[in-house]
Every structure is written in C-alpha cells, then in structure tokens.
Structure 1
Amino acid sequence: MQARERILIALDTSDAEQAVQWVKLLSPYVGGFKVGLELVHSVGFGIFARLREAGASRLFYDAKLHDIPNTVARAVRAIARMGVWMVNMHASGGRAMMEAAVEAARSASEPPLLIAVTVLTSLSSQELREQVGTRRGASNQVVHLALLAKESGMDGVVASAQEARALRKSLGEGFLIVTPGIRLIGDSAGDQRRITTPSEAVRAGADYVVVGRSVTADADPVRKVLRVVEEIEAVETVSEHL
C-alpha cells in the first residue's frame, strides 16, 4: 500500500459544498475520505454520490451503528447499496450484532469493509470506569473489544494509535487498524484525549490514519497533507531496511 493510500481525510463539516471542495482538492493525495454524522444529517445521504462525483473513490461512513442485530443488518445492506467502501459500528453492541452485520455485508454485490469502534478516543480510563462502568482501563478495553470484533468476522477496528501496538500483537496481521486522533507536531489536540502523529501510528501498526482539522483547517491543506505523506513514507522506508 502506498503511503497516500493510508490517509483518510475527515470531512468534518455540515456544508456539502465545503466537503466537495476538500475532495476535489485532496483526492489526488489521499486514499479516501471519512463522512461523519454531522455532514450526513445536515445534507442527507445524497452526499455520498456527490462526493464520488467529485473524485472520492473510497468513502468511509463513520456511522457508529449500535442497535439490535436485525436493525444493524438492514442498515448495512442499505449502506452497501450507496457504494460505501467502509462503515463502522460499536463493538460494544455485541457478537450477535456484529455477526449479523457481517452476514448482511457478504450478501451485497460490493461488500463494504466492516470496522468496529472499540473505545472513543475522547474517553480516558478514569471516565470509562466512573461513567461507563467498565472495570478495565482504556487500553485493556480496546483489546477486549477488538478480539471480540475479530471473532465476530469483522474486517478491523477503529482504535487509538496508542493501543495499536498491543492490538497488532493480539490480532496479528491482516486485521485492519484504523486510527483517528491524528495530529502533526505543533497542532492542537482539539477534543481528542489520545492523539499521536502519522508516523507514530504507522510505526505502531496502524493500516489507515484519519486526519481531520490538522489538514482541512490549515491555510494550505495540500501542503499539510503532503507532510503527512512524507511522514508515513519515512517510516515505510526505514521498515524496508530493517
């Protein structure tokens, strides 16, 4: 996989025209784009067709599905018909929910990749214990849910790069790790608690990195995304010589 193919740009906006502009500007330099709930709920599901027309060959729908198995299965079938490349759901929905989603995806002519959300990067270990009620800290909960997702037939997980190394060790190769909360050195952390740089994420075992405001809010988004590409290329070059 080329370095640029690892990069997914988060279209974090409610403005369809802004999202289309980002796709037209950045599609030659990245692997795909993440479409979140803000954009979909602001302008409707027709945005997927518009983004593909603008040049987005791969669209990751950050749907974070979490419902009873039958409902999630029907949602996955509908999402597959929209030509979505990747969609995610909460692993905390359980094995039956994820297995139903996998079966639904396999029935599609072009099955989307199914990615499980483990622990939101905005949550700390203390918040997990005090507010969610888990006994595990963030890192242990991530591994627990990731293993459940793999056993359920999912294609990969969304997880902080800070847990990527442990995930790769537990899950082995071939199970995708998609890492949000990516920032370049000098960027603001925003609302993410567990953040890291592109090079750190790939070095730890991430397959894809999701980059949002670090690129889209920059005065020169192309220049910024090329810095991300360079960081990843440097890691891959070093790895080839080890």
Structure 2
Amino acid sequence: LNPEEGDMVQKKYATAEAMYARIKEEVCQRAMALDEAVSQSTQFHDKIEPMLETLEALSSRLRMPPLIPAEVEKIRECINENKNATVELDKLQPSFEALRRRGEDLIGRSQGADKDLAAKVIQDKLDQMVFFWEDIKARAEEREMKFVDVLELAEKFWYDMAALLTTIRDTQDIVHDLESPGIDPSIIKQQVEAAEVRTRGAVSHSGACLHPTCKPDWTRS
C-alpha cells in the first residue's frame, strides 16, 4: 500500500473501532437497564402480593356485619377497635405509596398496559391494591358513624333508665310515707302515676330506638 492508501485504511479502521466501542457501550447500557428493570419488576411482584393479601383480609373483616352491644362502654370499645383499621392503613401508607410509584414507573418504561402483557398485569395489581385501600377507608368510616349513632342512643337510653329507677325508688319512699296521718293518698298517687308514665314513656322510646341498631347482640346485653 502506498502512503495515501495506508492512511485511508487506518482512518477506516479507526472509524470502525470507534463505532464498535460506541455500539458496545450502548449494548452494555441497555443490558444494565434491562437488568435493573427485571430487578425492579421482581421486587414489585414480591412486595405487592403480601400487600394485597393484607388489604384483602382487612377489607373482608370490615365487610362482616358488626355485633353492636347495648352497653355504652362496650360500644366505645367497638369504636376503638374499629379505629385499628385506620391505624393499620397509616402503617401501610409508606409501602402503599412506594409500590404505586414503582408500578407506575415500570408501566411508564413499557409500551403501555394496552400493548404490553407484563405492564397490564402490573396495572391490574395496582388497580386491585387501590380498590382494597379505598374500600377499607370507606367501610371504616361507615362503621364509625354507625357506632357513634348507636352510642348516642345508648347513652340516652341508660340515662332514661337511671331516671326511671330513681323515680321507682322515690315512689317506694312516697308509698311508705302514705301511712303517715294527714296526707291525702289519692293526690299523691296521682302525682306518682303521672311521673311514672312520663319516665316509662321516655325509656320505652329510647329502648325502641336502640333495639334495632343493636341486633344481633341485643339479647346478650
């Protein structure tokens, strides 16, 4: 080869070598990106399955009709127990948000859930997780409202019941005093009967309001 041909060959070689190095670098970067995507996808599926199981169990628990007692203190205990569901959600919040971000990131790197089967699987799991999450929040709030309403009825019922018992005790004392001379028994009896009718009416009304809300646990209370 003459010097000009040698220079040309050397330039082509250098160009080919540079192109090879560039292609090799791109292949390495794509391989690393693929490995990272596979790793993140594996971690996502490994972590979202236990999350779905936990949320599904909590959701199923809240779907069961609650046994509402008639005693005020027991109703307050039910309210506190119901708040445990909200506490559990608060503890799961960081993991929930992290899984949602990772899932959305994986879908964003794909061709989309409508074209990529793996992305669709991820989207379905995300949708399921969000559904359980919102369902738990809604049912916990609904239960708390019901417990609070029943608590108000129970407090009024037991207040009226205490008033009735007080009236009965006072009536017994008055009847005992009827034996004293100089007292017109008929007048006192009329007053006693009127007071008892009013008090019994209040208790009956409170009990009628409370009874339907406390089924099926009313008989045990």
State the TM bucket, normalised to the shorter chain.
under 0.3
More helix by share: 2
TM-score, normalised relative to structure 1: 0.21
Structure showing greater relative contact order (alpha-carbon pairs closer than 8 Å, 6 or more residues apart)? 2
More strand by share: 1
TM-score, normalised relative to structure 2: 0.22
